[in-house]
Structure 1
Amino acid sequence: MPSSPIRRLLGRGLLVTVSLLPLPLPLPLPLPLPLQAGSYDRPGDNPHQSRSVVVARHGMVCTSHPLAADVGLDVLKSGGNAADAAIAVNAMLGVVEPMSCGIGGDLFVIYWDNKTQKLYGLNASGRSPGNLTREVFRQKSLAQIPESGPLSWSVPGCVDGWETFRQRFGSQPLAQLLAPSIKAADEGFPVPEVIAGYWKSGEKSLAPWPDSRRVFLPHGTAPREGDVARLPELAATYGLIAKHGPDAFYKGPIAAEIVRFSEAHGGYFSLSDFADHTSEWVEPVSTNYRGYDVWELPPNGQGIAALQMLNLLQGYDLKAWGPGHPEYLHRFLEAKKLAFADRARFYADPAFSPAPVKELLSPAYADRQRMRIDPARAALNVPAGDPKLVHGDTIYLSVVDKDRNCCSMIQSLYYGFGSQVVPGNVGFPLQNRGALFSLDENHPNRLEPKKRPFHTIIPAMVTRNGKPWLCFGVMGGDMQPQGHVQILVNLIDFGMNLQAAGDAPRVRHSGSATPTGEPMAADGGTVYVESGITDEAVRVLQSRGHQVQRGSAGSYGGYQGILIDSARGMLQGATESRKDGAALGY
């Protein structure tokens, strides 16, 4: 037993190390000393925060897998910039999280170039096959586009997006950026907990397709947590792109293999669909929320839905209510319904049906739309507004480098493993983004040849006084605009730190009208809430007519963010606990 002087030191809270000679067991073990209540609590009032904010001076990478974040950090340390690191991270994510992203999907970027002091937007989404028309579905007696299989395909834009982005802002060769991913795919990589769960959930849908089964279920089942997975065919495909550039994908053997498979399995791809593909530089759009300029990309994505929601919420004193308060949650949910009604009516490929973006984002339109929110009752029927009356399963990654170039990049296959189909020996699945077209001939988002479908994936950035302040995104289909708004309200209105803002419990509304032509659910849809939302808040929402359920953790997206603290020359990074991710800096 420690002597009485040592006990007195322990009683004063000092750490004491004592060496004892070996003694025969059993020893009488002292009772543990009582701890002062709360002595190991985190500072501040963030009860849901899972870990500390990561702080670094020079560069930061935040994404949903530690191996991918580590690759990006290596690029930054070797002299690469944020654009280089983002491409390398995305390539690695296509290996280690293949159900969520990959070169069979599309890509969007918002980039702050510190040299020109300007934001740039890149739309690297692909278009529908030139031979695929609505008549095909009428002949097949299909009322909607299938969510899997070759009829859901559109041309993948990711690889062209990498090269378009790299040529304008990158500094390192594509082959160098792909090298770590080629090695990981060939030699193998350990599968972490959350991704193992995603992989497991794809077993049934992958199994009917022999190439998908061979690539992702080589032993008949998905790899378990801690197993080492290998993707040698993907390594070979990456190798072709590294050696020959994007032409290998769009004009060479990769396109040829995809088209061969498409023709053999009822698809409509042609070689010209790939050869004609191009990405597009676009101007980001913004709204000012309480002194912060929030930036999104214009349609064919859904980013402006987040801006519309912020415009509506700006008319309320959310800070007075606080996080999780039913008054805040009710108004958030009603704002979401209004924004998504406009989303269903107006968002589409601007080359075919330009949306009235300026009018949708105007303060006057928000003021008029806000009058439609009943503070005491949930809306069950929410038609789109009329802005013409106003005049005037995805990955996300964030990178900031030493020069304060900032990259907000999101890339996806849409569903987990996209269309579920690996076409031949390419080693990756093709996206099912074509399932988001409408077959209604009067809908702006109707299927037409060589048209970009409505997109759910949206990167975001926030500037303050003309300088980047926050580079962030939230994964998860329709959850993405809802997640963007909840993160920003947590940061700006409720004063949470960067990590707590992502870990705080969220709500998600489903059942709004969709860009595929489905109307809003007759009962107003369902509100899913995480466990941190109190029972009392749930009761209040239910009393106002909301259909509320406690949902699973996988339903609420996945957030990564980097905050640029210009005053102190520091970067803050966060990645939420719902994913396997990491925020790494140096």
Structure 2
Amino acid sequence: MSSPHAIAHPAFRPSVMGKNGVVTSGHHLASQAGIQIMMAGGNAIDAAIATAAALGVVEPQSSGAGGDGFILIYSAKTGTVSAINATGAAPTGATREFYLKRGGIPMKGILSVSIPGLVDGWLVAHEHFGTRPLEDIFAPAIAFCEEGFPLSHKLANSLRGETKRFASDPYTRAVFTNDGQPLHPGDIVYQKDLGKTLRKIAAEGRDAYRTGEIARDLVAFSQSRGGLLTEADLKNHCARIGDPIAVIYKGYTVYETPPNSSGHILLQELNIVENFDLRALGYNTAESIHLMVEAKKLAFADREKYVADPDWVDVPIDGLLSKDYAKERASYIDLERAAIHVPPGIPESVEDTTCFCVADSEGNAVCQLQSIQSGWGSSLIAGDTGILLNNRMTYWHLEKDHPNCLMPGKRVRHTMNPVIVTKDGKPVLICGTPGADTQVQTNLQLVTHILDFGLTPQEAVEAPRWRSLQNPMESTVPHTCEDVLQLESRFPTIACEALARKGHDLRYLSNWGGPGNAQAIQIDPETGTLMGGSDPRRDGYAIAF
């Protein structure tokens, strides 16, 4: 578990190690909540739910009870990986024609809100794998709501850009401003209404959000603002638990969440990259970066053509993940020249967010992504529920022939994709990141940094990061962007110059300006040592014991 690259790319923080449990998340208080539950006797799944609930309080701009999520769980008891889809569908009244008459889907406001699915996913995970009472699991998050927590510099900066919008609404004004003025680092934030809501969920379980008082309050707020949510929408929503998708990469089994997640992209990228000698190309060289960027382009072209909610679209997932198809797609890569236009292949028919990872001494492991879509979601708190609502409707397409075209009751295509990697049936790596369409790109970098080049989790999450933008394949409306390759300025000049010669249109970010908030845990199968790394680009911290 040692890295040969510590001198070339040192991590500014050490990887955190423990024997009994580790949590890596986007905020130290959320990691603390998960550790607290494990130290009280809970398992990794209990800790994951506690971390998830706490993140919705202390990192409200990224996720929470008004959003969605995907959860991957390795159960030591069964030796299997399960995938939980906790994403909500479009409301019954959300038709393509409705939005076209209004000029499209708005980025903010009540018409950007889809059915929240996350809470039901938490509770399904608890029903199947949890051991501690929900009252205990939600206790840390409730304490952060009722007793308050200090505002970080990162969150204060994010709030500053929303202060004018928040000041104009009584519910957000009361929570996220100081009587209409910006909050400052160190100010204490209280969310007492949200604390009451979490207490109701802990006491009443799944019915609280689907048919109880919380559901009625959400619908009443939506309708008072001209929104589309109905009581039937919430009642009919159910999180789903099922099988993940997976590929074998150099002897490791890499698990992902299936569509409507974009997890297939990472698996396609790995299948394509496996056709080349990545280690021989070198760590963070122009050659290895170019190969991964070109693999990404091929996988994204396939997503745009084939992938959406499999209840509505026939997704050829077996064909997309086959080794033969990957070999065919790999043949399109020119190692000396960047592709400008990348068409989809023909497989055989056979998405601001937060991420956290948890592992315990029993061998259980969890990787979870949850989100309210872009920063601060719809920017609306649903009345006295204290729930900040998502703006996930902005991921829909309105073109009739697009596989991700909006339909009532259909689940939008998501970018979230948690990762679990096993070797000989045991988990050895858990990783993920927020960052919309950059998630599968950052995950590719994390997996190859650790498995191919031997970096530690902390070195992998701190390593210089790239992001490829591909027009018109962005998930968020209007789905267009520049065709560019963005690089953090810490990449070696020699690599950047070589990438430019290969035809990449480069854009430079600040030293730590890359996307995501990556989290990773590596597990030593011989000693059982748990090693965690957390991204310093936001407020992330790993804690172990």
Give the TM bin, normalised by the shorter chain. over 0.9
Change (3 A) 1:269 1:304: same
Contact 1:94 1:102 in 2 (8 A): yes
Equivalent residue for 2:187?
227
Shift of 1:358: 0.6
Q: Does 1:124 align with 2:83?
A: no
Contact 1:61 1:583 in 2 (8 A): yes
Q: Does 1:278 align with 2:238?
A: yes
Structure 1 counterpart of 2:60, from 83, 93, 98: 98
Contact 2:38 2:44 in 1 (8 A): yes
Equivalent residue for 1:137?
99
Contact 2:466 2:514 in 1 (8 A): no
Change (3 A) 1:568 1:582: same
Distance in 2 (alpha carbons) for counterparts of 1:517 and 1:477: 12
Q: Does 1:290 align with 2:224?
A: no
Shift of 1:239: 2.1
Residue deviations 1:54-91, cap 9 Å, x none?
11111111111111111111111111111111111111
Equivalent residue for 1:45?
7
Shift of 1:323: 2.1
Indicate the RMSD between aligned Cα atoms, in angstroms: 1.9
Q: Secondary structure at the match of 1:490?
A: helix
Q: How does 1:408-419 map to 2 (within 5 A)?
A: 408-419=367-378
Q: Does 1:356 align with 2:316?
A: yes
Change (3 A) 1:72 1:447: same
Distance in 2 (alpha carbons) for counterparts of 1:519 and 1:279: 27
Distance in 1 (alpha carbons) for counterparts of 2:8 and 2:527: 23
User: Normalising by the residue count of structure 1, what TM-score does the alignment of the two structures yield?
Assistant: 0.88
Equivalent residue for 1:151?
111
Change (3 A) 1:259 1:166: same
The structure with the largest alpha-carbon Rg is 1
Contact 2:57 2:141 in 1 (8 A): yes
Residue deviations 1:289-313, cap 9 Å, x none?
1111111011101111011111111
Q: Does 1:179 align with 2:139?
A: yes
Distance in 1 (alpha carbons) for counterparts of 2:136 and 2:413: 33
Contact 1:344 1:517 in 2 (8 A): no
Distance in 1 (alpha carbons) for counterparts of 2:514 and 2:232: 38
Q: Which amino acid aligns with 2:507?
A: Q
Equivalent residue for 2:402?
443
Distance in 2 (alpha carbons) for counterparts of 1:193 and 1:517: 29
Q: Which amino acid aligns with 1:547?
A: D
Q: Does 1:486 align with 2:448?
A: no
Q: How does 1:159-178 map to 2 (within 5 A)?
A: 159-178=119-138
Equivalent residue for 2:205?
245
Unaligned residue ranges in structure 2 (runs of 5+): none
Change (3 A) 1:520 1:229: closer
Q: Does 1:504 align with 2:463?
A: yes
Equivalent residue for 2:415?
456
Distance in 1 (alpha carbons) for counterparts of 2:392 and 2:115: 9
Shift of 1:550: 1.0
Shift of 1:242: 2.3
Q: Secondary structure at the match of 2:202?
A: helix
Residue deviations 1:207-259, cap 9 Å, x none?
44442233222432443222211112211221222232232222122222221
Unaligned residue ranges in structure 1 (runs of 5+): 1-41
Q: Which amino acid aligns with 2:183?
A: P
Change (3 A) 1:527 1:93: same
Residue deviations 1:442-465, cap 9 Å, x none?
111111111111111111100011
Distance in 2 (alpha carbons) for counterparts of 1:536 and 1:46: 14
Equivalent residue for 2:70?
108
Q: Secondary structure at the match of 1:572?
A: strand
Q: Which amino acid aligns with 2:434?
A: M
Q: Which amino acid aligns with 1:441?
A: K
User: Normalising by the residue count of structure 2, what TM-score does the alignment of the two structures yield?
Assistant: 0.95
Distance in 1 (alpha carbons) for counterparts of 2:518 and 2:347: 31
Structure 2 counterpart of 1:189, from 149, 170, 186: 149
Shift of 1:554: 4.5
Structure 1 counterpart of 2:50, from 62, 67, 88: 88
Distance in 2 (alpha carbons) for counterparts of 1:78 and 1:378: 53
Change (3 A) 1:195 1:300: same
Distance in 1 (alpha carbons) for counterparts of 2:326 and 2:345: 10
* Count, aligned residues: 539
Change (3 A) 1:43 1:323: closer
Change (3 A) 1:436 1:114: same
Q: Secondary structure at the match of 1:387?
A: coil
Change (3 A) 1:529 1:515: closer
The share of aligned pairs that are identical, in percent, is 38
